[in-house]
A and B are shown apart, each in its own frame.
Chain A
Amino acid sequence: AQKITQTQPGMFVQEKEAVTLDCTYDTSDPSYGLFWYKQPSSGEMIFLIYQGSYDQQNATEGRYSLNFQKARKSANLVISASQLGDSAMYFCAMWGDMRFGAGTRLTVKP
């Protein structure tokens, strides 16, 4: 079965600094996509960014970018200029597989 791995249960970052949240995946499909979702303490799931396996460039959405390394099967989320409101759980997921990683809890320190 395809698999999504997030190896960082918790991360801390200083406000205004950048942080990278790791995600590795395992698939034999040549066509796939990877997502990141944010879950604040209120509980809702918020879509952040999507990367398709055939996309030529790494995806970016405002302060979010994906460091997509296909050969390494990794799709790490980079948050630039962290804000206090970025403190949340972050989940990586694979399109088609319907599986999510275990999540990383990010805490932004003032």
Chain B
Amino acid sequence: DADVTQTPRNRITKTGKRIMLECSQTKGHDRMYWYRQDPGLGLRLIYYSFDVKDINKGEISDGYSVSRQAQAKFSLSLESAIPNQTALYFCATSDRVNYGYTFGSGTRLTVV
């Protein structure tokens, strides 16, 4: 099994629908992150969490919300999806000691 698992892998949804992207990890890392990737823009941080009771906005949090249900689970919600939220979404984890992020395989979201 992958260290960081994202579900679903692909999703097509309609404008205005609520959608949740889920992330779970077996790394035992404290820190979890949600990024979105758009062509030419690299990865941009949506939200991050340094522990279960800690949630922080990233540079592009508008239109998104998150929930850290447990140390191992961090989900991203789009309350009312819009077409410009079409992107590749990555969940990542890290710990306090070792440098570097462990990424999930990504969720390709299309909003029509």
Tell me, yes or no, whether A binds B. Answer: yes
A residues contacting B by CB (< 8 A) are: 6, 9, 33, 35, 37, 43-45, 47, 50, 52, 91, 93, 95, 98-103
| A-B pairs with beta carbons under 8 Å apart, 20 shown | A9-B40, A35-B99, A43-B88, A43-B105, A43-B106, A43-B108, A44-B106, A47-B100, A52-B99, A91-B43, A98-B33, A98-B48, A98-B58, A99-B59, A100-B42, A100-B44, A102-B40, A102-B41, A102-B42, A103-B42
If the complex has contacts A98-B58, A101-B42, are A44 and B99 also in contact, measured as CB distance less than 8 A?
no
- Closest B residue to A97 by beta carbon equals B45
Q: Are B43 and A100 in contact (CB under 8 A)?
A: yes
Contact across chains for B99 and A33 when beta carbons are under 8 A apart: yes
> Are the CB atoms of A50 and B106 closer together than 8 Å?
no
Q: Name which residue of chain A comes closest to B108, CB basis.
A: A43
Question: Which of A33, A35, A98 has the most C-beta atoms of chain B within 10 angstroms of its own C-beta?
Answer: A98
The contact string, 1 if C-beta is below 8 Å from chain A, for chain B 48-59, is: 100000000011
- In the assembled complex, the CB of B105 is this many whole angstroms from the nearest CB of chain A, namely 6
In the complex, what's the smallest C-beta–C-beta distance from A15 to chain B, in angstroms?
A: 26
Q: Whole-angstrom distance between the alpha carbons of A5 and B68 in the complex?
A: 31
Smallest Cβ distance from A54 to chain B, in angstroms?
A: 12
- Nearest B residue to A49 by beta-carbon distance? B100
Q: A99 vs B43: C-alpha distance in the bound complex, in angstroms?
A: 7
- 4 additional A-B residue pairs with CB within 8 Å, beyond A44-B103, A52-B99, A95-B100: A35-B99, A45-B92, A91-B42, A102-B41
- CB-CB < 8 A to B59: which residues of A? 99
B40 touches A50 (CB 8 A): no
* Neighbouring A residues of B41 by C-beta, 8 Å: 102
Contacts A9-B40, A98-B33, A102-B40; A50 near B100 (Cβ below 8 A): yes
Which residues of A have CB within 8 Å of B43?
91, 93, 100
